[in-house]
Structure 1
Amino acid sequence: MHFTRIAVLLVALGFVHCSGSEALAQNQTDSLSPLIPLGVPFRLRIEQVEWDGDPLPTIHSAAHGLVGDRVLFVGGKTSGLHNFDCDPDENFPAKDFNRSLMVIDLATRETFSRPLSDADSVLSPAQIAALSSINTLTKEFDGQLISVGGYGIDENGDYVTFAGLRVIDIAGAIDWVLGDPAPLSDHIRFHQSPKGAPSDFFTICGGILIKNGDEYWSCLGHDFQGGYTECGPIGTTQVYTKSIRRFSLDTDLPDSPPIFIGETADPPPWARRRDLNVLPATVPEGLGAVALGGVFTLDDGVWTAPIVVDPEGGMTMRDPAARGTLRQGFNVYDSARLSFWSESRGENWFIAFGGLGYQVLWEGQLIENSSIPYSNEVLAVRYVPESDRWSQHLIGASYPTSTDSAGNVYYHGTETFTLTTVDQQNHQIDLDALTEETTIAYLYGGIIAGGQGVRNFPDTFASNQLFRVVFEPGAGCPADFDESGEVDISDLASLLETWGEVLDGIPQDLNRDRFVNSADLGALISAWGLCSE
């Protein structure tokens, strides 16, 4: 069925709900694009890993890198979302910042940690403070962990966004955690802004660091100085970068300084974004990036129209009101994410695993809520660079359902780490090369919420949950419940017989939200006919 016919069908069935509320006007756009059920040329499955080894550490918003089967975590936070009080020391308590290096061995199921304050680290108080920060811009490449900026408490006890770049030899740092007597300082290089760059070039938090060819790009984010408080901006400053800041490094010579390449000359107002998903992408001019969603507009809403970044770091955004512009409200916050490219299809697929959104599935209905609730569902965004066509899809995958002792469902994905286990040519997964069921990534940690937050703000915690992401090629035929080879009247009858709230995993619950309703009916009708078609 053609895309536009599916979109019309979904609106008619009430799958897409636009409230027209006053809160909606705070967002970048006052309408959102249809969410298409299924319609993706692959399937993803999230499975919880049964861990029978050492206790896993709770952590989110850390710099992290994977070498072999071992994961290194640097900095980050060991508690949930920050508080919203008047006292900065209550909102970001010093005890919640991770001041150790943590290591998880996925093969032996062992965990290790060692304090940065250990005398054998041979690090200064200022260096320890910078390494203990949160929301750094981080990228692992070729055994090196590149970490920019970050928010935390400096050696003088002040809340700051740190200025600087750290280059960490992951294997060497892991060896130090495991007891190597060589100083940790042998494995870390600290750099300031490169020659020719502004002094605040590396003073960023809440952005995303990606690699494009030989360049590193610090994408968007902000510089927040001072303690966070809900009682007015007393003694604080906040400056959004609205910029792509480009530099290069010779990782074979870690002592060599970073080289300044450039930054956005005239930062546009619509790039005032942080805490978002930025992914490597194939764009019309070659290899670039796409920025999805993000917060906050000047009216405390969410950004809905994506930004395309060309190979030279230039940013463009389609007119948000124009027909065909993607207007995203689902999974708009920094989450676990993956980027695919299919040469045969000429399209990118960007995956956001849960997190937060203005638009969420709640009790089987797609709703809009200005409190930006939590989501367990997986969103797929399709971008065809040649024709500049976009669509967004709910692909029927979500985090496995689990609850606390009171029956509150846990929600995952926010600030969660993505540990990719397959090769990424040009920093994207080659969709055409995946021809059989494959574990393509692990998702670890992040912020876990004990409730969705639609009506009441839930308790949040730092997670220590580990999930695997399993890729299955082909869209399959999930609406063919009786496996007859076609979706027909018998499948429709089967769906109607299970209408209402259902247990997790019921086949008729096509979008995996634990409700069989109009959303699943729309998906079945859109798949009507022979599965081969």
Structure 2
Amino acid sequence: MKTGFIFLSLFLLASPHFTIGQSNFDIQLDTFSISGLPGIHSFAVARHEGKWLLIGGRRDGMHQKFNSFATSGGNQQIIVVDPESGEVWQRPLAELPDTLAEQLRSTNMEFFQQENLLCFVGGYGRSEVAQNHITYPYLTLIDVGGLVNSVVDGSPLPPHFQQVRDTFFAVTGAQLQVLSDTFFLVGGHRFEGVYSANSGDNQLQFYTNSIRKFTLESTGQGWQVAHKSIVLDELNLHRRDYNLAPQIFQNGERGLVAFAGVFQPGPAALPFQNIVEIGHTGHTPVNGFSQFLVNYHCAKVPVFDAVENEMHTLFFGGMSQYYLNETDSLIRDNRVPFVKTVSRVSRLADGSYTEVPFQTELPYYTGTSAEFVLAAGVPVLENDMIDYEALPDGNNLIGYIVGGIVTPSNQRNPFIANNVGITTANNRVIRVSLIKNMPNATAEPSLDGQFNLGVHVFPNPANEAWKVSLNLPEAGWVRFILQNAEGKIVRQTNLGQQPAGPVQHQIQVGDLLPGTYWLTVNLNGIFMETKTILSH
């Protein structure tokens, strides 16, 4: 879902430089159709013995600015697809109890498949039980293999579901992942009432600004939720409709990365460009790195190269504030249009990040609210990270891009143009192949997303005020955000438009309690965070 307003401006930024990454691979795409597969987007997907299980989401296109998300446009079926045989089976959600069926036809739910268990969290939609549009306060646990078999053979559906009611799970537009059996529900928001693009019309909307953690314990009769906790960060976790992916960090630790998303807190409601590393013990924004080419949730796949100690996350299309034009110049469009870009963000062996667009593009404007489904037999590590070293040289089928929203090439901003009726749910499938160790690799344009704002805070510790000096690499809008140790924003200061070069500002903090604070400087979406200490 999309709220806030977007500036209608266009900027030309510096051209990227060219480099060849250590992991030498390319991407190949081709499109095919499966008879009987409906168009779908914003759904949940699971796999069982080569078949796909599709639940929830929408059958219509992009939502309207007002009175959107009608039940009639929702996906009313549980769908099973065999991509090899081309067979499709469907069973109506009406065969299930009302509270279960309503959640399962929601949109922008969070989901994660752990072996045979599909965890289906929250989602937004029209509830006839509540007589309103709501974010569903449920965690639904699904026996994937049993449900797939029942959809195919016509046996009863209800035995394969367990639903837990808890407002802890009333979240939409977040992402769900697992680290060592602990579930991480990251970001998202809660939306109650009929959707409106005018935020003043919304009955209730608030961002979770958090990582919600929980575990599942088997009782012998089902599952129970345990060890719930919440980590708050009103700046870096104030994002939704974005991408979260598993990560192997430089030191071999397993974690997650929250990639760029929407929307930054504040009246401009611009997309994020910064990324956030998440581990068992906390989360850390990656200072000075900006991801340019993806903002909204899209199909993605993680790839780990153990030999080079590089972690790559591949992104396919979607919507983005930035894109490359025909001369490889980086264009900024604050309307956040649909793009065909295929890109990767790579964590290199030295711990730094880089962003590389592939020369291959999607065949049409799609990718937003699509899902990547692994092909059978692809070698993977935990959390479906592709094991690059286990792939043979040459062309490897790694998976499929399923669903998503499609817009015609002559209208890349249908929401802004109030013309979403021309968009559709994608009913074609894009086959994705990874070509390993290409013999004639050509230079790829690597975007220079590394920035240093020259932030210096003094005195630190301070009693009454901090003096902040910056050295801006480019002119732009500058904002200071101060958070306490609990992640709450306690002060914001807008300096407005500033020229490139040195900038100084004093922040009065004598009225705040002593303790540790985090000061973030935001220049045109570039984030730099500094630890500060206040002592009276």
**Same fold by TM (over 0.5)?**
yes
| 2:410 counterpart of 1:443 | no
Return the match for 1:420 from 370, 374, 380: 374
Write out per-residue CA displacement over residues 99-151 of structure 1, whole angstroms, 9 at most, x where no aligned residue. 21111111221111111113xxxx32122111111111111221221111101
Quote the residue 2:339 is aligned against: 375
* Alignment partner, residue 102 of structure 1: 79
Distance 2:61 2:413 in 1: 19
In the TM superposition, residue 283 of structure 1 has moved relative to its aligned partner by 2.5
CA gap of 1:397–1:252, structure 2 versus 1, over 3 A, is farther
1:79 maps to amino acid? D
- Structure 2 distance, partners of 1:35, 1:72, is 42
Distance in 2 (alpha carbons) for counterparts of 1:60 and 1:225: 21
Report the alpha carbon displacement of residue 75 of structure 1 after superposing the two structures with TM.
1.0
Identify if the C-alpha distance between structure 1 residues 36 and 137 changes in structure 2 by more than 3 Å, giving closer, same or farther.
Answer: farther
Partner of 2:213: 246
Superposition deviation, residue 342 in structure 1: 1.8
* Contact 2:248–2:254 (8 Å) recurs in 1: yes
Residues of 1 paired with 2:15 and 2:171: CA distance?
A: 31
The equivalent of 2:525 in structure 1 is none
Could you report, residue by residue, the CA deviation over 1:366-422 in whole angstroms, capped at 9, with x for unpaired residues?
A: 3110110111121111113x633111101222223xxxxxxxxx3021111111122
**1:294-336 deviations in whole A, cap 9, x for unaligned?**
0011222110111000123x111134xxxxx221221221010
The equivalent of 1:11 in structure 2 is none
Paired residue type of 1:412 = T
In structure 2, distance between residues paired with 1:22 and 1:37: 33
Letter of the 1:180 partner, please give it.
G
Q: CA distance change for structure 1 residues 423 and 127 in 2, over 3 Å: closer, same or farther?
A: same
Q: Is the 8 A contact 1:39 1:475 kept in 2?
A: no
**1:315 maps onto 2:278 in alignment:** no
Residue 502 of structure 1 corresponds to which residue in structure 2?
none
2:359 pairs with 1:390? no
Q: 2:307 and 2:117 mapped to 1: Cα distance?
A: 32
Whole-angstrom distance in 2 between the partners of 1:35 and 1:279: 26
| 1:172 counterpart residue number | 146
Question: Which residue is equivalent to 1:509?
Answer: none
Tell me: CA distance 1:338–1:163, structure 2 relative to 1, closer, same or farther (3 Å).
Answer: same
Distance (Å, rounded) in 2 between the aligned partners of 1:32 and 1:22: 20
Contact kept in structure 1, 2:369 and 2:405, CA below 8 Å: yes
- Number of the residue aligned with 2:25: 43
Task: Report the equivalent of 2:57.
Answer: 76
Matched residue, 1:348: 311
Distance in 1 (CA, whole Å) between partners of 2:181 and 2:308 is 27
* In 2, Cα distance between equivalents of 1:390 and 1:213: 25
* Partner AA of 1:373 in structure 2: P
8 A Cα contact 1:203 1:223, kept in partner: yes
* Cα deviation, residue 261, structure 1: 4.3
Q: 1:115 aligns with which of 81, 85, 92?
A: 92
How far apart, in 2, do the equivalents of 1:243 and 1:32 lie?
35
2:437 aligned residue: 474
Once the two structures are superposed, the pairs formed by residues 107-256 of structure 1 within 5 Å of their partners are 107-118=84-95, 123-154=96-127, 155-181=129-155, 183-193=156-166, 200-250=167-217, 253=220, 255-256=222-223
Task: State the shift of 1:270 in Å.
Answer: 2.3
TM-score (norm 1): 0.74
Does 2:241 correspond to 1:275? Answer: yes
The 1:232–1:389 alpha-carbon spacing in structure 2 relative to 1, beyond 3 Å, is closer
Equivalent-residue separation in structure 2 for 1:388 and 1:245 (angstroms): 26
**Percentage identity across aligned positions?**
25
Say if 1:40 and 1:395, in contact at 8 Å, map to a contact too.
no
Corresponding residue for residue 56 of structure 1 = 37
Closer, same or farther: CA 75–110 of 1 in aligned 2, 3 Å: same
Taking structure 1 as reference, are residues 251 and 368 closer, same or farther at Cα in structure 2, changes over 3 Å only?
farther
* Contact persistence 2:121–2:140 (CA under 8 A): yes
Structure 1: 5+ residue runs without aligned partners? 1-20, 194-199, 320-324, 401-409, 481-533
Please give the alpha-carbon distance, in whole angstroms, between the structure 1 residues aligned to 2:18 and 2:262. Answer: 24
Question: What letter matches 2:334 in structure 1?
Answer: S
* Structure 2 unaligned blocks of 5 or more: 1-6, 444-536
Residues in 1 aligned to 2:350 and 2:262: alpha-carbon distance in whole angstroms: 28
Moved more, 108-117 or 235-244: 235-244
TM-fit CA distance, 1:476:
3.9
Does the CA-based 8 Å contact 1:383-1:390 persist in structure 2? yes
Residue 271 of structure 1 aligns to a residue whose secondary structure is coil
Q: Deviations over 1:215-259 (max 9, x none)?
A: 221111111111111344335211111212122224795712122
The alignment covers a number of residue pairs equal to 423
Matched ranges for 1:23-34 at <5 A: 34=16
Q: Do 2:117 and 2:142's aligned partners in 1 also have CA atoms closer than 8 Å?
A: yes
Q: Which has the higher helix share?
A: 1
Q: 1:367 to 1:261 in 2, by over 3 A?
A: same
Distance in 2 between the 1:447 and 1:302 partners?
Answer: 19
Distance, in Å, in 2 between the alignment partners of 1:233 and 1:370 is 22
Q: Does the 8 Å CA contact 1:369/1:454 hold for their aligned counterparts? A: no
Whether the aligned pair in 2 keeps the contact of 1:133 and 1:152 (CA below 8 Å) is yes
Q: Deviations over 1:137-190 (max 9, x none)?
A: 111221221111101111233101111111111122122222433x31100011
Equivalents in 2 of 1:455, 1:201: separation in Å? Answer: 35
Cα distance change of structure 1 residues 63 and 233 upon mapping to structure 2, 3 Å threshold: same
TM-score, length-scaled by structure 2: 0.74
Equivalent residue number for residue 431 of structure 1: 388
How many Å separate the matches in 1 of 2:330 and 2:411? 14
What is the DSSP-based 3-state SS (H/G/I as helix, E as strand, rest coil) of the residue aligned with 1:293? coil
Give the RMSD, CA atoms, in angstroms: 2.6
CA contact (8 A) 1:162 1:203 kept: yes
Report what 2:472 is aligned to. Answer: none
Give the direction of change, closer, same or farther, for the CA distance of 1:452–1:317 in structure 2 (3 Å limit).
Answer: farther
Aligned residue type for 1:336: A
- 2:389 match: secondary structure: helix
Change (3 A) 1:288 1:232: closer
Which amino acid in the other structure matches residue 132 of structure 1? Answer: R
Q: Give the match's secondary structure for 2:432.
A: strand
Distance (Å, rounded) in 2 between the aligned partners of 1:152 and 1:159: 5
Question: Which of the two has greater strand per residue?
Answer: 2
